[in-house]
Structure 1
Amino acid sequence: MKATAQDFRSKLFDKKNLKIILTLSGLVVLLLAYTALRDTDTLITHKQANILYSKDKIKKVIVDGDYIHLKTDGGNYKIYKNAINTAAFFSKYPVEVKEDKGYIFDLLLLLILLGSIGYLFRMMKVNRLQQLRQIRGAREENAEIYEPVQALKSNVTFKDVAGIKDVKEELEEIIDFLREPQKYRDMDIRLPKGVLLVGPPGVGKTLISKAVAGEAGVPFFYQSGASFVHIYVGMGAKRVSELFKKAKQMAPSIIFIDEIDAVGKSRGEFRNDEREATLNQLLTEMDGFEESSGVIVIGATNKIDVLDEALLRAGRFDRRIHISLPDLEDRMKILELYLAHKPNNVDIESVARMTVGFNSAALDTLTNEAAIYAMREGRKVVENSDFEAVKEKVLLGKRKILSFTEEERKIQAVYQGAKAVVATWLDVEFEKIGIVTTRLSVQEHEILSRSKLINRIKVYLAGSIATKLHYNEQFNNAGTDIRQAKELLNKVIYDYWMSEDFIVNPHKEEELMREMVSEVTDLLKKLGKALSDVSEYLLQHENIDQEACRKILLEIF
């Protein structure tokens, strides 16, 4: 109702302004018209005036400033008074002297101009006051919405989260610290202030952080990164300050910032004062943590590459935990968890195999849709056929989810298996290579040899070369790897100048690429048996680490 009344007043004010502007415009037009129509006499020359004088057609002479107006029966004329013998005209015809009142017109125009300027200044002042009232009202409204940060009590534990065995191990000591901080203080042990969960959407980053809080039995403060970004500079920073203040008061506690990239993007060319102020406050708060404050910040993102370097340096988000899409074993555990309270007769392994690339959120949706389908069909038990019936529906709603046919799984197994074999053979370290993921170890060394960089490029090329050897065909799954290979090769040639005689040109780049393709082709032909075994391993387990791949190679060679 308040907004409606305000809108009405605004419209009424606008109508009033419009009437005033139209009135002033009308007056100006009338004055200009009066100026144009005030003097319509025809201007004539000295010769024409003498003709009128000699023919005695002039009835009256009017003196008006610098002009002499001649009134005749055939019309009215005017001539500049110094152009004729005025004495002759004045002695022959009746003369009228017109008082010059042009100053009145000029004064009126000046008054109208000054009034218009004053009115415009008044309008500007009124508009400024209205803007200030709106800003004040928005701040008050924001303050009403901006409720104090509330701590949550998490009822989620690791029993409610399946398929994250590696992540659990990483977080165990964090949980232990939150449970018994004094034990660590006695040993003068400092745990990370921040933990960054990195992974694609839907893998359960928020759920994992709630489970950590639930396992430790500590207060849980949840905030979205976007909630810190306000249109008014300083509001986000204030919210960050209050969040950390509350968390310290209730320590030990956990602060979870979801989608932290919304506020933690790199500070660069395109400035955003509010976001930068908020990020600076976040950095300050993390630096200001007392070593024994008992507050741990957990951030979640799927865009670690856009985060500001200051946020990732030691002393802030020291620990990073990568959460991949669940593999076969993980999916089986997740499905088992989601089906625990649903009457079912499901072959969980079969369903897990047909859901390659599904994240935990997608598996939750799939399980729920399968149960709905079974109920719609009049059955009280969920079966495999229900999952098959709704799989396409879930896929259409989850475009980013990969789903392979059996033939595509075999192609992808050969492709990824070749990368694992070549990486192991060439000592390129990797954490895990799966049917849908490749996690090569991050190169943290400042100085890298040419051979190490070349070997890394060969790993990127291996999958495409292997599928071409095996199927005599190329596939579109190689796009990302080929792009990475070319980008790294470009750096080797043009940024690092790693070519013979330091000669840089496109010919060197092409020559080196052909040389690497030839070497990888020969290597894969030599390691054909190992590639076959690794591909089969991937079909069975969907993931392979470097140790398992090394064992397969050792058995053959």
Structure 2
Amino acid sequence: MLNSSRKFLRTNPASSLMSGSGSNITSASPIMKSAALILSGALSRGSYLEVPKFSSVPEAFYNNLFVKRLFHTSTICKASRVSPAKLARLEYEAQTSNNMDRKAEYLQALFDLEHYQMVVQLVDSGSYSLDHPLIRQIYRTSLERIGGVYQENVPRTNYYSYSQSQQQQQSPPTFTSPPQDNSYIHTFNFPHQPQPVMLPQKLVVTMDDSFFTRFNRVNVTRSFISLLFSLAIVGLFFYLAYYTPNDPTKQKQGGGGLGSMFGQTSYKPITNVETRFNDVKGIDECRGELEEIVDFLKNPEKFNKLGGKLPKGVLLVGKPGVGKTLLAKAIAGEAGVPFFFCSGSEFDEMFVGVGARRIRELFAAARKQAPCIIFIDEIDSLGGKRTAKDPFYSKQTLNQILSEMDGFKSSEGIIVIGATNLLESLDKALIRPGRFDRHIEVPLPDLKGRKEILDLYLKKVPLNPTVNVETIAKKTTGFTGADLENLVNVASIRACTKNKEQISGDDIDYAFDRIVMGIARTSSINVMNEKDKEITAIHECGHALVVLLNQKKSSQLNKDILHKLTIIPRGSALGFTASLPEREVHHMSKQQYLQIIEKALGGVVAEEIIYGKDNVTSGCTSDLQHATNVARSMVTRFGMSELGLIDFTEESSMYQKGPEFSPETKRLIDIEIQKIVNSSYERVRAMLKENESELRKLAKELVKYETLSGKEVLDILEGREVKRSIVGEVDF
């Protein structure tokens, strides 16, 4: 019967396991010998052991020191820091190699297992050199551990001395062969050999598993924390994927966050569009075209009587800011139909097939709401021209929209409105009749249109009655509707910063100069020395005089009017001269292009006349580039040269490859460009040389006031005094 009481023993180190008779351990196989060495090293340290008692087992069995330790295998494994296989490998390398580093590694392993006797015996055998520092250190420490004394200059066999009893205590154990029956008899030959002990057939052993309990507890805790962290990451991923923002144009099934990457998009139309055609100003021709489409949507039966069909697509083409998106909103607002808004860039993601899936979902949602309008802004981002080199997945989105607009599936009652800045970049299959039936060019607003747009935005802000809206409209030639809105907004902000109750003409002028010339860097003018101010003034006055002199002799109906010149740095320029066309420009003659070149050369020629040809500065870089580009266009595009009426345009774009010309043709083109620029230079030099006194006078006043308007320039040249405070003064 199993005794219920359990004994916990702390054994003392046994030093008598390494000696004895019988089959010596040194004659065993390397791995067996290494295992025995590790076992004996672990036993020599002692361990906690719990041994169950059986009534049929003699008491001598439990008194056997080796049997007590043998039960606690977990502690033995823990105590041994070298595996039997590794110890066998180290022994083999030490015996077969003369490398003292390998031998030292083997001795270190024996030392870690506390086999100090074996370390001493191996070193005394003569195959281990004490000249190696690690071997000498291990040998000396092992000798001290077994009670020996390390002595210098003494034969190696006398390096240590210890008693015979100590030698017997350190003798290794020997093992006899196990019996052939199942009696589990294990015989160990110790210096004081006990009698063999018969073990029971079934032996129940209870181990002190506190180490394993702690180890498993730590592992379970770590695993649990890792599991919680993984679940948190997965939960966050799905939260982002299925979070739905408050987007009035589209709701995503799970979409808004990562859900949109997987194409999980459910489009929701805008049903309360408040924009009307009365909100669209300056583009009356486009408005008339689109009003017809609104009539289609409101009264389809009216056109079906004669077989008319609702156009499937309308393409709005124009520069950025002219009002393409506003027109699409006005159509939806006037027709009172659902309006789907999306951008061409929304259909492409990192995964293949997402764009095509979104197109299908968009048209599926539109069919449920028909009649309706789908507006795709920047459609060139998904409808670009296809080439044979394009990967297949880049064509899927375009192929899907082609199929939806004019495929087997019916799209009656759905009008697709696309907006683009680059019509030439779109695929021909997309812009053919049956898909985008109508192409509407949205132009820049004319004088009347700009006045209407300014009236629309200025009604929303407090405006000084002295402000002339028509004057503002005249000098904003080339402005888009978005530019005019920005002009009013900048003027309003400036009036607020000045604590004004109303927007004045000065605020409008400030906003205009900021948009046209850039932000004034007033701090830079304060650190400029007088010489730099003088050079900049001469340069800008050269531009201004050329504009005024050409204005007097020009026979063209359209003339440039000097607006303002300044030496205050704006943007990247140290100075600026602004001139505006007298009226709307629809055609440009050769004389007008030559005047543009002459104006660009006025600055560098003025510096050359005042300071000499060798003292011209690099501030004319952008002027020379502009003059050369205009001359090149005259030769290659407009046929305004002796080469004749031939198009020599050779610039290639990503959509169209330009023609290739022979080196001789290119040389002739360069010669003509040089002729135009050189002849313009001679005319400008003659004009400014003749009016050198006016140039110096105007430059002197410009340094004083830093900024002069066109009217003030005329007053100075005609001898009238400028009624304004002087900023600085210089003589040159």
Aligned position for 2:668: 511
1:276 to 2:395 alignment: yes
SS at match of 1:280: helix
Give the direction of change, closer, same or farther, for the CA distance of 1:289–1:158 in structure 2 (3 Å limit).
Answer: farther
Aligned position for 2:342: 223
- What are the within-5 Å matches in structure 2 for residues 382-461 of structure 1? 382-393=503-514
Give the direction of change, closer, same or farther, for the CA distance of 1:398–1:286 in structure 2 (3 Å limit).
Answer: farther
Give the direction of change, closer, same or farther, for the CA distance of 1:343–1:438 in structure 2 (3 Å limit).
Answer: closer
Give the direction of change, closer, same or farther, for the CA distance of 1:437–1:318 in structure 2 (3 Å limit).
Answer: farther
Rounded Cα–Cα distance in structure 2 between residues aligned with 1:435 and 1:196: 34
The offset of 1:511, in angstroms, is 3.4
What CA RMSD, in Å, does the superposition of the two structures yield over aligned residues?
A: 5.2
Which is greater in Rg?
A: 2
Give the direction of change, closer, same or farther, for the CA distance of 1:40–1:359 in structure 2 (3 Å limit).
Answer: same
Aligned position for 1:165: 284
Give a deviation string over 1:489-527, Cα, whole Å, max 9, x none: 1669x9879xxxxxx7311343367679989x99xxxxx
Rounded Cα–Cα distance in structure 1 between residues aligned with 2:82 and 2:439: 73
1:143 aligned to which of 230, 253, 258: 253
Give the direction of change, closer, same or farther, for the CA distance of 1:396–1:507 in structure 2 (3 Å limit).
Answer: closer
Give the direction of change, closer, same or farther, for the CA distance of 1:363–1:510 in structure 2 (3 Å limit).
Answer: same
Give a deviation string over 1:48-94, Cα, whole Å, max 9, x none: xxxxxxxxxxxxxxxxxxxxxx98956139xxxxxxxxxxxxxxxxx
- What are the within-5 Å matches in structure 2 for residues 50-129 of structure 1? 73=124, 75-76=126-127
SS at match of 2:127: strand
Give the direction of change, closer, same or farther, for the CA distance of 1:177–1:438 in structure 2 (3 Å limit).
Answer: farther
Which shifted more, 169-178 or 31-40?
A: 31-40
The offset of 1:159, in angstroms, is 0.9
Partner AA of 1:178 in structure 2: L
Aligned position for 1:299: 418
Partner AA of 1:358 in structure 2: F
SS at match of 2:417: strand
1:264 to 2:383 alignment: yes
Give the direction of change, closer, same or farther, for the CA distance of 1:469–1:379 in structure 2 (3 Å limit).
Answer: closer
Give the direction of change, closer, same or farther, for the CA distance of 1:182–1:471 in structure 2 (3 Å limit).
Answer: same
1:323 aligned to which of 434, 439, 442: 442
Give the direction of change, closer, same or farther, for the CA distance of 1:172–1:389 in structure 2 (3 Å limit).
Answer: same
SS at match of 1:261: helix
Rounded Cα–Cα distance in structure 2 between residues aligned with 1:398 and 1:272: 45
- What are the within-5 Å matches in structure 2 for residues 162-241 of structure 1? 162-241=281-360
1:489 to 2:599 alignment: no
Say if 1:218 and 1:252, in contact at 8 Å, map to a contact too. yes
Rounded Cα–Cα distance in structure 1 between residues aligned with 2:394 and 2:95: 71
1:309 aligned to which of 408, 422, 428: 428
Rounded Cα–Cα distance in structure 2 between residues aligned with 1:266 and 1:319: 19
Rounded Cα–Cα distance in structure 1 between residues aligned with 2:406 and 2:583: 38
Say if 1:232 and 1:274, in contact at 8 Å, map to a contact too. no
Say if 1:258 and 1:299, in contact at 8 Å, map to a contact too. yes
Rounded Cα–Cα distance in structure 2 between residues aligned with 1:268 and 1:178: 37
The offset of 1:336, in angstroms, is 0.5
Give a deviation string over 1:224-280, Cα, whole Å, max 9, x none: 112222333333323222222232333332111111122223334775666532222
Aligned pair count reads 380
Rounded Cα–Cα distance in structure 2 between residues aligned with 1:35 and 1:460: 97
SS at match of 2:330: helix
Say if 2:316 and 2:419, in contact at 8 Å, map to a contact too. yes
Say if 2:454 and 2:473, in contact at 8 Å, map to a contact too. yes
Give the direction of change, closer, same or farther, for the CA distance of 1:437–1:259 in structure 2 (3 Å limit).
Answer: farther
Aligned position for 2:468: 347
Give the direction of change, closer, same or farther, for the CA distance of 1:322–1:410 in structure 2 (3 Å limit).
Answer: farther
Rounded Cα–Cα distance in structure 2 between residues aligned with 1:184 and 1:271: 42
Rounded Cα–Cα distance in structure 2 between residues aligned with 1:413 and 1:269: 54
SS at match of 1:342: coil
SS at match of 1:296: strand
Rounded Cα–Cα distance in structure 1 between residues aligned with 2:636 and 2:598: 21
1:369 to 2:526 alignment: no
Give the direction of change, closer, same or farther, for the CA distance of 1:512–1:357 in structure 2 (3 Å limit).
Answer: closer
Rounded Cα–Cα distance in structure 2 between residues aligned with 1:397 and 1:209: 32
Rounded Cα–Cα distance in structure 1 between residues aligned with 2:296 and 2:478: 34
The offset of 1:154, in angstroms, is 1.8
Partner AA of 1:167 in structure 2: C
SS at match of 1:233: coil
SS at match of 1:357: coil
The offset of 1:214, in angstroms, is 1.8
Say if 1:157 and 1:211, in contact at 8 Å, map to a contact too. yes
Rounded Cα–Cα distance in structure 2 between residues aligned with 1:293 and 1:412: 60
Give a deviation string over 1:387-412, Cα, whole Å, max 9, x none: 1233455568899xxxxx99999999
Say if 1:461 and 1:481, in contact at 8 Å, map to a contact too. no
SS at match of 2:266: coil
Higher helix share: 1
SS at match of 1:316: coil
Rounded Cα–Cα distance in structure 2 between residues aligned with 1:290 and 1:478: 56
The offset of 1:206, in angstroms, is 0.8
Say if 1:328 and 1:353, in contact at 8 Å, map to a contact too. yes
Rounded Cα–Cα distance in structure 1 between residues aligned with 2:90 and 2:545: 90
Rounded Cα–Cα distance in structure 2 between residues aligned with 1:407 and 1:212: 50
Give a deviation string over 1:170-193, Cα, whole Å, max 9, x none: 323222222222222211224532
Say if 2:322 and 2:482, in contact at 8 Å, map to a contact too. yes
Say if 2:491 and 2:503, in contact at 8 Å, map to a contact too. yes
Aligned position for 1:64: none
Rounded Cα–Cα distance in structure 1 between residues aligned with 2:519 and 2:298: 38
Partner AA of 2:386 in structure 1: R
SS at match of 1:382: coil
Rounded Cα–Cα distance in structure 2 between residues aligned with 1:169 and 1:481: 37
- What are the within-5 Å matches in structure 2 for residues 25-36 of structure 1? 35=89
Say if 2:601 and 2:624, in contact at 8 Å, map to a contact too. no
- Identity within the alignment, %: 35
Rounded Cα–Cα distance in structure 2 between residues aligned with 1:413 and 1:188: 59
Say if 1:370 and 1:387, in contact at 8 Å, map to a contact too. yes
Partner AA of 1:341 in structure 2: K
The offset of 1:34, in angstroms, is 7.0
The offset of 1:158, in angstroms, is 1.5
Rounded Cα–Cα distance in structure 1 between residues aligned with 2:84 and 2:583: 80
Rounded Cα–Cα distance in structure 1 between residues aligned with 2:392 and 2:593: 46
Rounded Cα–Cα distance in structure 2 between residues aligned with 1:173 and 1:377: 47
Rounded Cα–Cα distance in structure 2 between residues aligned with 1:212 and 1:241: 24
Aligned position for 2:369: 250
Aligned position for 2:457: 338
Aligned position for 2:536: none
